[in-house]
């Protein structure tokens, strides 16, 4: 039967994947009947599921393969599991893992039903847009754990080094002694996605293309012309981080509303981060600031040309955005001359300035009196404000 064939192939894949080191997020999987792991392509979701399957057993299926090669959906899969186990799915207490679950159009309904009726556990991965496509009913039942691009120390770890990483939250709120490791510049350029460890920087472009030409059609519902022009839009964005929506639309050949829709989708798909300006709502007229979710994407789109300071700022933005995401905080950018970011944690506002070398006092002083605290992340910091050595920030994840 097709289920036995798929199960056998998954066991072989899981055995191969078990030889690799594990992503850090596997150590912190949330408890719950249904766990969703959204993330961009190339970030290591499939390998992580194979490693988990190797440890705990149960069932693991790639939903895109199930659909494309077997013409089966999640309903067919659950019925076949019932037949094989000889028990109704409601009575089973096994782990079912579903990779690229968004390839089934009724995935949210199926997971909601499993959350209510299934005795076991469901772990599902998919496009980053998963977290935005959940129905309110599933949102109340499922736990979401983002699979983010690699931090510097996780990249070192996957390459075989022994490291002692710290949580970014601890770096901000506790005293952490820096531990220098070489290779940070190389990491910024080519280390953001684990797929590069085996297949090199060109694999980043392939992952981006798959996210566009596959997911934009399946999940986003865009027409083929818009999808075909999206790679050009991303390259324009990579070459000019401050490019306006109007200029993007003009250069790419799409309408402004279409460009806005594409950018919003790329944010949901996990490829870019869109930050609004800090301050009153009137300042929103100045527009959003956009970063790639890892500087490795920008480098892949523009190599061999790159600006190291831009890559560093992008990496810090990505890490701060993840920290804000998992804690329910808000990350914005400073709209005028001054620090780079403002992190709002409940009622506390922290302005953050980042850069290589020694950061002067002039940039951050403009935020004093308008926020509760100022933090500088640099190799050398000014006196009078909190300073996090850049070498210490390398360690965070």
Quickly list DSSP for 177-218.
-----S-HHHHHHH-SSTTHHHH-THHHHHHHHHIIIIIIII
| pLDDT score for 132 | 63
Percent of the chain with pLDDT over 70: 95
Question: What does pLDDT average to over the chain?
Answer: 87
| pLDDT score for 145 | 86
Cβ count within 10 A of residue 378: 20
pLDDT (mean) for 11-21: 93
Note the pTM of the prediction, 2 decimals. 0.88
Q: How far is CA 222 from CA 210, 214, 349, in A?
A: 15, 11, 38
Q: Where are the domains of the chain?
A: 2-144, 152-394
| pLDDT score for 285 | 45
For 62-107, the pLDDT digits (tens) are 988 887 777 888 888 888 888 888 888 888 889 999 998 888 888 8
d(Cα 337, Cα 355) in Å, to the nearest integer? 15
For 385-394, the pLDDT digits (tens) are 888 888 888 8
For 335-379, the pLDDT digits (tens) are 878 889 999 998 899 999 998 887 666 777 777 788 898 889 988
Backbone angles phi, psi at 363, to 5 degrees: -70, -45
Is the distance from CB of 217 to CB of 269 less than 8 angstroms?
A: no
R_g over Cα of the chain: 22
| pLDDT score for 91 | 87
| pLDDT score for 397 | 81
Q: Which CATH architecture group holds 2-144? A: 3-Layer(aba) Sandwich (3.40)
For 79-91, the pLDDT digits (tens) are 888 888 888 888 8
């Amino acid at each position: 039967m097709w289920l036995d064939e798929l199960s056998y192939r998954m066991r072989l894949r899981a055995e191969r994947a078990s030889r690799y080191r594990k992503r850090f997020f596997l150590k912190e999987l949330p408890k719950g009947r249904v766990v969703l792991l959204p993330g961009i392509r190339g970030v290591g979701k499939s390998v992580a599921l194979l490693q988990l399957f190797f440890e705990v057993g149960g069932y693991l299926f790639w939903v895109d393969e199930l659909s494309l090669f077997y013409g089966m959906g999640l309903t067919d899969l659950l019925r076949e599991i019932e037949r094989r186990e000889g028990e109704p799915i409601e009575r089973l207490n096994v782990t079912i893992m579903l990779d690229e679950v968004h390839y089934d159009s009724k995935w949210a309904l199926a997971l909601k039903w499993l959350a209510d009726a299934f005795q076991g556990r469901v772990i599902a991965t998919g496009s980053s847009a998963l977290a935005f496509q959940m129905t309110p009913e599933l949102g109340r039942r499922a736990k979401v754990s983002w699979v983010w691009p690699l931090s510097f120390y996780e990249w070192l770890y996957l390459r075989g080094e022994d490291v002692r990483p710290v949580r970014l939250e601890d770096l901000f709120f506790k005293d952490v002694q820096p531990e220098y490791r070489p290779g940070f510049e190389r990491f910024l350029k080519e280390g953001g996605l684990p797929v590069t460890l085996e297949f090199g920087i060109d694999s980043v472009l392939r992952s981006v293309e798959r996210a566009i030409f596959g997911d934009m059609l399946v999940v986003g519902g865009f027409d083929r012309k818009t999808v075909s022009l999206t790679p050009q839009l991303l390259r324009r964005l990579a070459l000019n981080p401050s490019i306006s929506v109007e200029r993007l639309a003009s250069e790419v050949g799409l309408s402004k509303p279409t460009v806005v829709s594409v950018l919003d989708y790329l944010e949901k798909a996990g490829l870019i981060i869109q930050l609004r300006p800090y301050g009153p709502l009137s300042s929103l007229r100045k527009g959003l600031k956009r970063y790639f979710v890892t500087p490795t994407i920008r480098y892949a789109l523009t190599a061999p040309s790159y600006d190291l300071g831009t890559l560093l700022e992008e990496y810090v933005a990505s890490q701060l955005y993840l920290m804000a995401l998992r804690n329910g905080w808000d990350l914005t950018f400073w709209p005028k001359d001054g620090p780079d970011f403002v992190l709002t944690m409940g009622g506390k506002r922290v302005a953050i300035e980042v850069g290589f070398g020694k950061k002067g006092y002039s940039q951050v002083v403009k935020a004093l009196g308008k926020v509760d605290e100022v933090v500088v992340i640099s190799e050398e910091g000014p006196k009078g404000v909190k300073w996090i050595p850049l070498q210490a920030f390398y360690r965070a994840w």
